[in-house]
Amino acid sequence: MNNRPITTIQAVAVIASTIIGIGILTFPRFMVEAGDSGAPLVTASGIFIAFIGFWFTASVCRKFPNETLFIFSRRLVGTGLADFFTGLIVVFFAFSTGITMRQFGEVCVSVIFKKTPIEAVILLMLLLGCLSIRRNIVKFTYIHSFYLPLILLPVLIIILVALNEIDVLNLLPVTGNQLTPRKFTTGMLTSASLYQGTFILTLLVPFMKKPQKVMKAGTIALLLIVSIYVLIVTVSVGMFGAQETLLLFYPTLETARSISLGAGLLERFDAIFIIVWVISIFTTIFSNFYMATFAFKELARFQDHRLLASFLLPFIFGSSLLPDNVFQTYDLASATAMFGLILLTFYPFLLWFVTIIREKRGRSV
């Protein structure tokens, strides 16, 4: 078997399907809070901050194409410091999986399974994720490559249909009403926090046929997803207006409910959207759970990660039940995302900086 079976296109698929997920439903409301009618502009601006962390991660991984970040980091900053950051990564991705699961459960019990306990919904999806991650990186990649078209095509169809329903006046002025630097920065950081899935490339590089193209793969994935997010925010604000969007808890779902095709011939786009959304949630949880388990394996110096998946399951399930209500859930999700944005930007920067210093001094890593 080829030791490097993952192509650049497959790497794009993994990164893209990891990024697109829970934020689809509520993302427009957060962007409108920051930018009013300028929400699409605020959404697009987040990619610049997200690209910084991605660039450092991709740059340092390209210098060590035969190892994951968890291995070569020990030689760069020392075993103790590397293990400390690996532990933070385990906690972050495990906790992020739990909070994402809670958000998933909140939507399910309020929209689909109204009489089902939220614990049952969360546990069922977690068990599915736990069974799925008992695979190697190659099969992990194939799963993402299979599901990405099933996510993107229906979403693009819904967006294209919704574009016919928008009122351009709702999108004016494009810079928003009274868009202050503070609000713009807050919205920019919120937008950037959605693109942390690029960190999954640290697992892919040692298996890529052309690891030097990881920068290209990540850039394509980021541009693809930011385009979709901008379009989603545009159709939501364009259909309902900024003030109405603020009153909607799940603006994107309401957008799908409000459109039809062929004079009512094809309705209930919200049912299609929910199916696509569940698939996108699974791929996001799949990646986060896999990253937490793989990092834990490296931290514990295990040869295999499958046993550790079952070990992390109670922690993830417990973290999903920490918030008392849906409002605390989204507050905790925002705080977790901000922590991840800092961690997954600073740590790759530290590794990249140490690598550059060593290279300038002519020292071998």
Contacts (Cβ under 8 Å, ≥6 apart) of 220 = 12
148-159 tens-digit pLDDT:
999 999 999 889
Taking residues 110-129, report their average pLDDT.
90
260 in Cβ contact with 266 (< 8 Å): yes
The pLDDT mean for the chain works out to 90
SS3 266: strand
| Burial label, 238 (beta-carbon count in 10 A; 0-12, 13-18, 19+) | buried
Q: What is the pLDDT of residue 173?
A: 87
Q: What is the pLDDT of residue 340?
A: 95
Position with higher pLDDT, 85 vs 177: 85
What average pLDDT score do residues 287-303 get?
Answer: 93
Instruction: Tell whether the torsion through CA atoms of 96, 19, 192 and 174 is positive or negative.
Output: negative
State the pTM of this model: 0.93
Percent with pLDDT over 90 in the chain: 67
Give the rounded distance of the alpha carbon of 142 from its chain centre: 18
Span 104-108, mean pLDDT?
91
Q: Kindly give, in sequence order, each residue whose CB lies less than 8 Å from that of residue 298, ignoring residues fewer than 6 positions away.
A: 68, 70, 71, 86
CA 272 to chain centre: 21
Average pLDDT over residues 249-275: 81
Model confidence pLDDT, tens digit, residues 79-103: 999 999 999 999 999 999 999 999 9
State how far the alpha carbon of 313 is from the alpha carbons of 104, 127, 141, 207, in Å.
16, 8, 22, 27
pLDDT range class, residue 1, cuts 50, 70, 90: very low
Q: What is the mean pLDDT of residues 304-322?
A: 90
Structure token pair of residue 59: 């740059």
Comparison of pLDDT for 264 and 76, the residue scoring more: 76
Amino acid 119: pLDDT: 94
Q: What is the pLDDT of residue 262?
A: 66
User: In the structure encoding, which two tokens stand for residue 79, read together?
Assistant: 């075993």
Segment (H or E) for 29: helix 23-35
Given the structure tokens 């809070």, which residue do they identify?
33
Q: What is the mean pLDDT of residues 164-180?
A: 86
> Of 114 and 39, which is predicted with more confidence?
39
**pLDDT at 179 exceeding the cut of 80:** no
